[in-house]
Structure 1
Amino acid sequence: MLILCLGGLQPRQRGPVYVTASFVDKNNLFIENLSNDEVQVLENGQVRRIEFMARDEIPVVYGLIFERALFSELQADDRSRYGRVSGSTSAREIAYQLIDKYLGRQAMWVGAYDQGLEVVLDVSFDGSKVKETIQQLQGLRRPPQSLLHGALLSAVTKMNDRPEKRRVLLVFLDVLDVDSGGKIKSLKSLLSASNVEVFFVSLASALGSTRSALHPQMSQAGLKELATATAGDALFATYYREHSEDLTQKIYNQIRTFYTFGFQAEFTGEKPGSLLVKCTRAGSKVRHHPAVPALP
């Protein structure tokens, strides 16, 4: 079970909210046959009636974001010298597999970032057009320092304007930059208060990045911490070697096992009260946001 504790008492307001959650059983396997009567949602200790429950049958919007440094000529040269697959090749390969096998008919948009986020393709249901856009992404030979925190802020803002009840960000990057690494706390607050699931895919080598950034172990820990704030995940290509299809499958397995719940929440000011989500199935565990988004 998961406890969410938020703001104090102010004039009350009721309205619908939607939250996503994933459930694992006593064997740590995702629960794919959960029923409504196995879940309880309590707000400030009061049981709220679940008015909506769905898994992968509802519309989802996906944002595919790429760090431009992955496409730099300098990085490609360096990785080629050491016999490693370039970040651009790996990122494209994983994205194409996701689109071809799973996301092709969903709403998708594409962004690229260095010191800011550029939306290079607005929301489209055309998988071929999305792949074509990704293929055309380019970087500079010596790219400027990437700033993940600014890109995430812009991406979350864009997602919050979407009508879909589920919103998933897939962020392909080399490593976590030093500046964003120093802003983990504020980034976690941003992500935990959004109705967005974030999955990071790091293409960095275990030996380190070719650029000035956090040490790979620190980068991995930071990305894991950020992803956990959204019940998403951070995955690292170095552990999958040449088996990108296994990484793709793991990403999709997690995405498709999320449930979406809708209920009437009681808000005070801009923040909801404390929330408790429980699963009555023996040995089960719940993962989801540590916060619920306030009413628009």
Structure 2
Amino acid sequence: MRLRIFPFFRAHLNTLVLFMSLSAVFSFMIAGASSAQQPVDSRPRTTGAATVAPSPSPQTSQPTPTPAQTLPGRRIAPQLGAPPPPPVLKQKPPDPTSAEIDENSTLKIDTELVTLHVRVIDRNNHPINSLRKDEFKILENGEAQPIFSFTREEVPVIYGLAVDTSGSLRPAFEQVLNAAKAIINSNKRGDETFLERFISSDKIETVQDFTANKDALLDGLDSLYIEGGQTAVIDGVYLAAEHVAEYKKGGDDDRRRRALIVVTDGEDRASYYPETELFKRLREEDVQIYVIGFVNELDVEKGFIRKSPRDKAVNLINKLASDTGGRAFFPQSIAELPQIANEIVRDLRTQYVISYDPTNKAHDGTYRA
């Protein structure tokens, strides 16, 4: 049997090698790894709930809101030189020493679990879903790691859908919405989704916050419209990924998978956050990013030392996917969108989730990748 191997990780300061011992040889892909080895940046940068933006009627043109006209409830990336956004009030966790622990209490212990999302496929790109825990083996820097937990059943998904509604997506916008609807219609019991639209840094809003209500999400998609502006892809991804990571974090159902699906041309023109800050934050979270990149309309002309706009967009999109264990898609025609939507849904549903407690406890600023 001829098999295909899809590596998800690139070796960094700490290398992570995952292989399986099988009676028959299979290929597999490590879809993502996360570690709590870095300290979490606690600055409040989450997106907030906002009212659904109405679709412009055929009779009247849709006015472009200015920063002074920002809708109530909208959370945006701050402008350079502007004051930071207001902090989000979070409930203070109870002090475990303030009350006596009885036999019915739950004791929570912090641990540095590393979670791997593994997709195993055969040579025909079909998922293999019948593997057992003892058929996996994890090595970190050449040292075997004990598997803490292993699941292969379908786990509910928490995911965001971030749609670039700048003018560059106008030609394919209807098909983009149809693909997004196909993804939402595949939601199963326990799944929760939120919808974000982004253009420039002052036009990033949550159209529909997390919900299991498909009708509300579909209505939110129907309300989207194309609008001009300097696209802030990095800001849009930063805020959306942060919102996915923080939602119900530490709750009883925190075992659910977390993902972000981004639809964009990938050309960042005016983001507040630098690219390095985005990837620093992504390394701290367990959010897989899937990107559908419409790059064909971008300029391919490059300067003497600078990359072309298309090359820069492709590099950003590929890095977003590879660094988080997701996937990048570059459709050559809108006819490919239904198949891409199906592949994303299949990836979200057919991965093994494996966690281990690493033997290396050093807090030396490195991370697993």
- Could you say what secondary structure the match of 2:113 adopts? strand
* Aligned counterpart, 1:67: 164
Q: Any idea what the Cα deviations from partners look like across 1:48-99, whole Å, max 9, x if unmatched?
A: 3223222451121010011121xx5x864xxxxxxxxx33212210011112
**C-alpha distance in 2 between matches for 1:246 and 1:152:** 23
1:223 counterpart = 2:317:
yes
| Aligned counterpart in structure 1 of residue 260 of structure 2, from 151, 163, 169 | 169
Give the SS at the match of 2:231.
coil
Match of 1:199 in 2: 290
Q: Look up the match of 1:151.
A: 236
Q: In structure 2, what is the equivalent of residue 252 of structure 1?
A: 345
- What does the per-residue CA deviation read over 1:112-144, in whole Å, with 9 as the maximum and x for residues that have no partner? 11233322211100111111111112343xx22
2:298 aligns to what? 208
Task: Give the match for residue 192 of structure 2.
Answer: 107
Q: SS of the counterpart of 1:229?
A: helix
AA aligned opposite 1:57: E
Distance 1:22-1:186 versus aligned 2 partners, 3 A rule: farther
How many angstroms apart in 1 are the aligned matches of 2:179 and 2:351?
A: 21
Contact 2:234 2:268 in 1 (8 A): no
Report the residue type matching 1:264 in the other structure. Answer: D
**Whole-Å separation in 1 of the counterparts to 2:139 and 2:188:** 36
Q: Is the 8 A contact 2:237 2:262 kept in 1?
A: no
- CA distance in 2 between counterparts of 1:28 and 1:244 reads 18
Rounded to whole Å, the distance in 2 between the matches of 1:218 and 1:50 is 39
3-state secondary structure, aligned to 1:175: coil
Partner letter of residue 135 of structure 1? D
**Once the 2 structures are TM-superposed, how far is the Cα of residue 220 of structure 1 from its aligned partner?**
2.5
Q: 1:98 to 1:47 in 2, by over 3 A?
A: same
Deviation at 1:168, TM superposition (A): 0.8
1:127 equivalent in structure 2: 214
The one-letter code of the counterpart of 2:322 is T
Structure with the higher fraction of residues in strand conformation: 1
Is 1:31 aligned to residue 124 of structure 2?
no
Q: Evaluate the alpha carbon distance shift between residue 271 and residue 38 of structure 1 in structure 2; reply closer, same or farther with a 3 A threshold.
A: farther
Aligned residue type for 2:288: E
Alpha-carbon deviation of 1:27?
A: 6.3
Residue 179 of structure 2 is matched in structure 1 by 94
**Is residue 118 of structure 2 the alignment partner of residue 21 of structure 1?**
yes
Q: Is 2:89 aligned against 1:5?
A: no
Runs (4 or more) in structure 1 with deviation over 6 Å come to: none
Cα deviation for residue 203 of structure 1 reads 3.4
Q: Could you tell me which amino acid in structure 2 is paired with residue 32 of structure 1?
A: N
In structure 1, distance between residues paired with 2:126 and 2:279: 26
State the number of aligned residues.
Answer: 251
In structure 2, relative to structure 1, the CA distance for the partners of 1:246 and 1:136 (3 Å cut) is same
List gaps (5 residues or longer) in structure 1.
77-85, 275-289, 291-296
Distance 1:148 1:252, change over 3 A: same
Which structure has the highest helix share of the two? 1
Partner of residue 104, structure 2 = none
Q: Taking structure 1 as reference, are residues 231 and 215 closer, same or farther at Cα in structure 2, changes over 3 Å only?
A: same
Output the aligned Cα RMSD: 3.4
Residues 21-43 of structure 1 show CA distances to partners (whole Å, capped at 9, x for unaligned) of 22345666543322211212234
Instruction: Name the CA shift for 1:225/1:75 in 2 (closer, same or farther; >3 Å).
Output: closer
CA–CA distance in structure 2, aligned partners of residues 47 and 273 of structure 1: 18
Query: With structure 2 as the length reference, what TM-score do the two structures score?
Result: 0.58
Where 1:32 maps in the other structure, the secondary structure is: coil
Q: 1:29 to 1:176 in 2, by over 3 A?
A: farther
What do residues 217-263 of structure 1 show as CA deviations (whole Å, max 9, x unaligned)? 542243122211112111123x2442432222222233333221122
Partner Cα distance (1:157, 1:144) in 2: 23
TM-score (norm 1): 0.71
| Structure of higher CA gyration radius | 2
2:126 matched to 1:42?
Answer: no
How far 1:45 moved relative to its partner?
4.4
* CA deviation after TM superposition for structure 1 residue 202, in Å: 2.1
